[in-house]
Structure 1
Amino acid sequence: MALEMRDRCERCTTAALPPDGPARICSYECTFCTPCAEAMDGVCPNCGGELAPRPRRAAAD
């Protein structure tokens, strides 16, 4: 089962999140840009879980 690499922040919806760029996710794969995650004190507003750095994927050629 692969990690879903969402391309938009769920809070501000304006931040583009490329697969090789920084983002924060919870264990349910809720996805946020770094500024939004910091504004939420690293806590997912959907489940209350910890927001951790999302692994990066190499950009497709």
Structure 2
Amino acid sequence: MTIEPVEIEMDITAAPRELATAIELKLQEWGEPLRWAITAVDRETNIAQIEAIVIKE
């Protein structure tokens, strides 16, 4: 098992209640999300920069 940092960009037009679930599902492509944060948002394109730590087996 290893812990790795991940940075992704994602469209955040989903409703706020669905946003966290959508981010966690996207991060599962790289491993099990341990923690994540939205670090920047481009308001013109609704693209968010997300930094996360995931656990890979």
Query: What TM-score do you get using the length of structure 2 for normalisation?
Result: 0.28
For normalisation by structure 1, the TM-score amounts to 0.27
Larger relative CO (CA 8 A, sep 6+): 1 or 2?
2
More strand by share: 2
